[in-house]
Copies of this chain bind each other. A is one copy, B any other.
Amino acid sequence: MDIRPRDTDSTWRRRAYSVIFESDTPAGRVFDIAVLVAIVLSVVAVMLESVQRINQQYGALLRAVEWFFTGLFLLEYIARLVVVRRPLTYAFSLLGIIDFMAIVPTLATLMLAGSRYLLVIRTLRLLRVFRIFKLGRFVGEGEFIVTALKASRFKILVFLTAVLTLVTVVGTLLYVVEGGRNGFTSIPKSIYWAVVTVTTVGYGDISPVTVLGQTLASILMILGYAIIAVPTGIVSAQMAGPRATAVPTYKQVICHVCQATDHRPEAEFCWHCGEKL
């Protein structure tokens, strides 16, 4: 549902909406970037607070910063609610919920001590950075990636299902082969190991010790090493695709009789009506 103010709304409201929600005016761009900077700063403050040594020394300051930004975000949230035509639609939209969740945890600490950890939700507001991408150059590029991924989504789903099946089967096998020892203490843990291996992450917190286990693991690794080619190939082909389609250039001429375009570069006559071009 459309949350934009109606054309019949007061000027200041439409003005405020375009500043707060849109980014195609200078003021709107400044507002968006200011919000983004505030998000980054508040996230950095939360991060630093989690470091014990820094917390002991600058804890009070960081908590003050936290309250300052919470206040700021609260004001921003209220402004957003006031300005839109349908406050509830915004409030229950994904971005609306994230905006709300970014404020709640700090307020909640007044009643419940441990709830401050929920502040991590605020990092989700970082996702707003992608809205800024709507500015200028980034539109096309971001859309290009998203389009390529969307076009490949079924292929990627098939690929992921194949990987998950592989990981389940091999993980279970390793559980049996290693006999529940050497870290392979249960099937889910063994599947976790298989994921760590097939994705070539390889922590080494769990690794096979028996000869058969190491042999199976080697096969899994080489498989994982080779099948990375599949998603890469899918996305490469997808991304190379549109451009390839654009290659066959046509004569920049429109037939003056039938308006047909896309004539071959060397065409002297219209392919549609036979008229001299």
Contacts and interface: CB of A to CB of B under 8 A. Distances in A.
Interface string A245-277: 101100000000000111111111111111110
A82 to B, nearest CB: 29
Contact of A120 (B172, B189, B205, B243): B172
Residue picked from A46, A156, A169, most chain B C-beta under 10 Å = A169
Given A156-B226, A225-B231, 17 more contacts: A48-B188, A51-B188, A117-B176, A126-B165, A133-B158, A160-B222, A160-B226, A201-B202, A202-B203, A233-B236, A234-B239, A237-B239, A243-B245, A247-B248, A262-B265, A262-B266, A267-B272
A180 B52 CA distance: 10
A148 B266 CA distance: 27
A230 B235 contact: yes
Number of copies: 4
B154 A137 contact: yes
Contacts of A229: 228, 231-232, 234-236
A38 interface: no
Residue picked from A124, A201, A245, most chain B C-beta under 10 Å = A201
Contacts of A233: 148, 232, 235-236, 238-240
A107 B83 CA distance: 65
Given A175-B50, A233-B238, A236-B236, A200 B199 contact: yes
A159 interface: yes
Contacts of A156: 226
22 contacts: A50-B187, A51-B187, A126-B165, A126-B168, A130-B162, A133-B161, A141-B154, A142-B158, A189-B214, A195-B221, A198-B225, A199-B221, A201-B224, A202-B203, A204-B205, A232-B233, A232-B236, A237-B240, A240-B244, A244-B244, A266-B266, A270-B274
A275 B274 contact: yes
Nearest to A51: B186
A169 to B, nearest CB: 5
A18 interface: no
Contacts of A185: 51-52
A266 B224 CA distance: 43
